[in-house]
Structures are given as structure tokens and as C-alpha cells.
Structure 1
């Protein structure tokens, strides 16, 4: 069993900006039963974890925005997927007929219940019961999204619009091509579909001006959360930010490096900049339906 609440919202004393921050993959509380069912050692199983991302963005709380973070690990349950993206080969028993068993993410081993970490490193020694997978979805996945939707609805009601920033990290290089080093940041807006362009363009410009290498939408355009929650015409904006882990941590021993605080400060400056954009009138409150 998970030893602490599976997720939490760190809320400011008063929400002063129309932003909600979400760190769905930074959880580091690995259930003992999950580790026992895995074929991997405790270090290898952490390869898909967004280590310290919740801490990198912790400055958003004193700036006046809530930060939602998972405590459960992505390898155990991925809330940045549809609720039932499941690979039937993984499970002992029949999946429900509404399960999406043919998505590209399932084919890649990265469904709601992941089959692999990193580049095709198998997690489980044997099949797991279907009932176990469905229990994770019912008891953790659905409450997680219920809370995230509530945060967005409360913010939207208070300010007239809301910006969800989905916070992630990525390996510094591609394991199958060690000479290919990724950008420092990748800004994802589903190719312009999930948020006002001023947000993604503003993030790109700010980070570039700060001296970082920045890419947009490649290789990460935003997952289920960005796609599902971003409805700009309704005043619901969603932006994904991927941070290169090599900027702030040692990827071999999972320790922060000497630049962690610098990256955290630059992200605080980025958030302050983004939160000033609505003041320019770029985000008019959507008119109520007649």
C-alpha cells in the first residue's frame, strides 16, 4: 500500500494568479508490493520518474498559485494518460470492453499502467491481475483528476479563465543515440491547440532570453492532461513544460546538482513573467452563453 496520501495540493494562503500547477510524475513513494512484483532494481525503476520537478516549481505557491503533486510513481500509475489505456498482454484476466488497447502509447509500453520504464525496460516479472490495475484507476487515477478539475473550475470561476501548467522532466540524452542531447526545455501546447499563443510564445522567448536552449512541441507536444484540459476558447489554457534533468540533477544517482537552485529561481522568474501576461488584456473573459 502507498504509505502517504497518493497526492496533495499545496495551496497558497490566497490564490492571486489564475494559474494551477501540476506535477503528475514526480512521485517517489514506491509501494512495497509493486517493487516485489517488478523485475527491476530500485534505481532502474526510477528512470521514468520526474525527480524533484515538484520542488523545482515549489516557488509558485508563494507567488499565489496552487501546486498539485503526485506521491505515487509514474511507473505504478500514469495519470497523464486516458483512464483505461491498457495493454492486455500485461494482465491476468479480461480487460473491460471500454479499455483502449490500441493506442500508440499502449503500443510503446507507456499506457495508464506502464509496461516499461525508459527505453523498453520491462517492469514486471509476471502478469498482474486485472483487478489490481482497475483498483489503481478507481482509487487514485479518478480522484486525482477529480481534484485537478476542481482546482481548474475554482480558478476559472474566480478569475474568469485559468492556465494549467503541467510540469515534467526529460532525460538529458536519448539512450539509443548517446550523442543526441536534448534541449534544456521543451514547451508543449499541442501545436497551438491547448493554450493562447501568447503563453507558449512567452515561455519560449523568456527561457531563450535567459540563455537556455528551447524547443517547442518536439519531441513533447503535451500528453493527455494538456490535450484534455486545454480549451482556450472556453478560457481553459494548458501548457506543458519539460525540463532537461541534466540541468538540475545527477541522473545516475538521483541527487540534485549545484545548478538546482539556479534553475528553480529561473522557473520562478518564468512563472512571474507568465502571470503578468493576462494583465495586458490578451485573455478576455469569455462571454456567457445567451
Structure 2
């Protein structure tokens, strides 16, 4: 397992003042040398699956009084927004454990816990990996990451009586909502109403629309494993996935920040503040909801 990069970190406020946890699992951009060497992709292509700079866009979370968990390892290396063992047996030398989920749609698409591809169906690896390598990544990175996230969510729930997890992501600029032609600036995912209360999801959409953004719910991204796994509205635990259109803030060809980056970050800071204000003003209504 590479030792030349920290796995992840939690940016903490001096005191947690709001019942929110922010999580950026796909913005990691520290690529282990051994991983790059075993990839068939160049340094630019291998970054195509990153949620570019999303950790920076949500950095104001700590100023508002909420923790921000962020990955340093890249999504192409390990995807913590999957089940722990969504693995494609065609990728590995050796037998996977019997509990591995080898038949999920995400595995079939090449986007399992150990991804086979990055965006545009570009194959990552030159050759098959030892199965022991996959299992080591899961033990050494995936499980500690989720242990950390669970502790943050549990602490928040204990402090406030309920909690809201915001899972922070980005999406390609060419995404359209099927059948409408709408190119959304933001997509709010709540697993079709199962991971968060309707009041919370609707508030997120309304805030973004009032700020002048095109915002939609669940299509084409309803939320991944993290949203589904941590969202338990009946227990006072809500999880929303927020997808930001990358073309708002980076040049998708060069992956460099656009001049609008600071303005987008400021807008997201305002969104976070307004979400916190909404929850504070109506916590009795949104804290607990039927799943």
C-alpha cells in the first residue's frame, strides 16, 4: 500500500455549531506513484473521474461550524461511494471472496469499488491486479474512511438530536435531464425520497433556484452508496447528494479553474448557510420523517 500520501482528513471547526457533516469522497488528487506506473493512462486522462476541487468549493463548511471530510486518494484508485466489495472478477488475478458483489450495475459499468475505467470508458490498468491488492485497499483505506464518516455522523446526531450529511460531488458539463434537454447546474439526490425528508430536499432546490441556478432532483443522479447507506430520515439522519456542473468552475479540457471559480465557491458557501438557516428555523419539521 502506498505510503507517500495521507489517506484523508477532517477539517474541523473550533466548535460544531450546526447539525451538518460535509463529505467530499471523490476530490482526492494525490496519485500513488505505483498506481500511475501500472496504469495505461497519462496524467491528464487518469484524472477524468475526479470531482475536481469540490473540497475547495465546500471549504467554507468549517467557518459555518460543520466538519468537512475529504479524501486525498483519487476515485480512480478506490471509490468509497460504493459497497465495500463491489468488485469485477475480470480485473483480478485470484479468486474474490464469496461475499463480493460481482453482479451490480456499477461493476458491470466498470465503476466498482476498485474502478476499471475512468470517464469516457477509458481502461485504467495495463494488466490484471492481484486480488490481494484490492482487498488491501479496502482494509487500509475504505474501511477507515467509513469509520471516520460514521463517527462524524453519530457525533452530530448526538449533539443536535438529528443530523444532515451533504455528500459533495461534481458532474460533467454535458449532462442533460432525459426528455427535457435541461442542463442542470446542480442535482440534488435523495434516493427518490428515501435518504432525506422532502422538506430538506425541496429547500435545497428552492435555495439554488432562488440564487439563479438550474437545479433538479434525482435525475440523472439520485445518490450513491453513501447517500443510501447513511440516510435514515425516520431516525433523524438525512443524507443529500449535491452534484455541481463542472463547467461552471473549471475548463473541462485543461482541468484548470475558470475565473468564475471564486464566485461559484462563494455561492456554495451561501447555499450552505441558507441550508443551515432553514434547518435551524424548521428543525422540528425536518428532523424526523417517514422513510
Q: What TM-score, normalized by structure 1, do the two folds share?
A: 0.95
* Rounded Cα–Cα distance in structure 2 between residues aligned with 1:286 and 1:66: 19
* Number of residue pairs matched by the alignment: 284
Q: Deviations 1:115-154 (Å, cap 9, x if unpaired)?
A: 0000211111100000000000000000000000000001
- Asked if residue 201 in structure 1 is aligned to residue 202 in structure 2, the reply is yes
Which residue of structure 1 aligns with residue 65 of structure 2?
64
Q: Which structure 2 residues correspond to residues 163-182 of structure 1 after superposition, within 5 A?
A: 163-173=164-174, 182=183
TM-score (structure 2 length as normaliser): 0.94
**2:233 touches 2:287 (CA, 8 Å); kept in 1?**
no
Matches within 5 A, 1:19-58: 19-58=20-59
The alpha carbon displacement at 1:273 in A equals 0.8
Extract structure 1 runs of 4+ deviating beyond 4 A: 284-287
Say if 1:195 and 1:239, in contact at 8 Å, map to a contact too: yes
Point out where structure 1 has 5 or more consecutive residues left out of the alignment: none
Mapped contact 2:279–2:286 kept (Cα < 8 A): no
Q: Which residues in structure 2 correspond to 1:114-193 (within 5 Å)?
A: 114-173=115-174, 182-193=183-194
Displacement of 1:285: 9.3
SS in 1 for 2:120: coil
Structure 1 residue 102 corresponds to structure 2 residue 131? no
Shift of 1:282: 3.9
Aligned partners of 1:196, 1:7: CA distance in 2, in Å?
29
Question: Which residue is 1:5 aligned to?
Answer: 6
Q: CA offsets, 1:151-197, max 9 Å, x none?
A: 0001100100010000000110159xxxx773111110011110111
Report SS of the residue matched to 1:200. helix
Any idea what SS the aligned residue of 2:242 has?
strand
Cα deviation for residue 214 of structure 1 reads 1.1
Aligned Cα RMSD in Å? 1.7
How far has the Cα of 1:278 moved from its partner?
A: 2.4
